[in-house]
Amino acid sequence: MFTRCCSLCWPGKHLRWTRITSYMEHQLHRRFSNTFARGRVFAALGSEEIMKAAILLGVLLIVLPLSSISQTPNTAIVEKNGVSNSDNKQQKTDTQASATPEMTATPAPKNDYVRPNAKTRFRRYAMGMFGPMALGKDVLNAGWSTWRNSPEEWGDHWEGFGRRFASSVGKGIIKNTVSYGLDESFKLDSHYYRSKDKSTGARIKNALISPVTARNRNGDRVFGFPRLVGTYTASIVAAEVWYPARYNYKDGLKNGTISLGLEAAFNLVKEFIWKK
């Protein structure tokens, strides 16, 4: 029925299949016989194709969770001790109804921040490493670095892409683990919250200073050293441990600073583009 066109095509094999399936397999073998024989189908793609595929996948992983975020209320109040926001509102209503006129006339505090419970904090820690948005950033970073062939020792094909992706995931694990440990030890919250002041200047300020600030138990902004220590620790460890030998801690400091800048830029996207 078919003539043998390559070392992978055998007439007997095609005769056992239906005509359509056999014809499709036969055409694939004719076109990619050399590539299949060497087992390097993906290696045939260049760095540009890898970057395009990585950007597409990374954007999808980032946009999907952000789209769901944009449909949720923009508030810094979270559930605490198993009590939902609706329950809190009902309790406030009951309290106001039974309060004296003096208590009712007392202005409410400007800061309505409530520290998230332990379950919420741990979930954020896990999602910061393996959530769709985190993995999307890792894919984008690996695709961009593969296109630039940086580090060049890792190559600009799929093997290099895999090493860069693994490196990005590893740095994310170190960064989030260090930040989470320091947040828990010092009772801080390094999570990003959108600005409640809707003026343009306030929103830009909130996005830019969030990478270097955190919130204490009262919700006041303080110096955010957990995120800084986590970011620079991850970059320095990567440069000293698994990057090529020509990299050192100075490159780690540089990459850590770039990471903080990119994080501020991403905060601007969340602040202005994905609105509630």
267 and 148 within one domain: yes
Cα separation, 5 vs 1, in Å, equals 12
Looking at the structure of the chain, the number of domains it has is: 2
Q: Angle, to 10 degrees, between the axis of helix 158-186 and the axis of helix 118-130?
A: 160
Contact 87, 189 (CB under 8 A): no
Verify that 159 and 181 share a domain, yes or no: yes
Residue 1 near residue 11, CB atoms below 8 Å: yes
Residue 112 confidence (pLDDT) = 82
| DSSP 8-state class, residue 7 | T
Mark whether 16 and 111 lie in a shared domain. Answer: no
Is there a single domain that holds both residue 35 and residue 55?
Answer: no
Q: Are residues 236 and 250 in the same domain?
A: yes
If phi > 0 it is left, if psi is from -120 to 50 it is alpha, else beta; for residue 187 that is left
Give the pLDDT of residue 87: 52
Task: Assess whether 129 and 9 both reside in one domain.
Answer: no
Residue 188 CA to residue 221 CA, distance in Å, equals 10
Residue among 180, 179, 160, 157 nearest 168 (CA) = 160
For residues 74 and 85, give the distance between their C-alpha atoms in angstroms, rounded to a whole number.
13
3-state percent breakdown (helix, strand, coil) of the chain, nearest 5: 65, 5, 30
Q: What is the pLDDT of residue 21?
A: 46
| Verdict on whether the full-model pTM lies above 0.75 | no
Per-residue pLDDT of the chain in tens (276 residues, 90 and over written 9): 445 555 444 454 444 444 544 554 555 455 444 444 444 444 444 555 655 565 655 555 555 555 554 444 444 444 444 444 445 545 544 544 444 444 443 344 456 899 999 999 999 999 999 999 899 999 999 999 999 999 999 998 889 999 999 999 999 999 999 999 999 999 999 999 999 898 999 999 999 999 999 999 999 999 999 999 999 999 999 999 999 999 999 999 999 999 999 999 999 998 988 654
Catalogue the long-range contacts made by 93-102 (C-beta closer than 8 Å, 24 or more residues apart).
none
Residues 19, 111 share a domain: no
* Domain encompassing residue 35: 1-39
Give the per-residue pLDDT at 47.
53
Range 243-251 contact pairs with CB under 8 angstroms and sequence separation of 24 or more: 243/151, 243/167, 244/151, 244/153, 244/154, 247/151
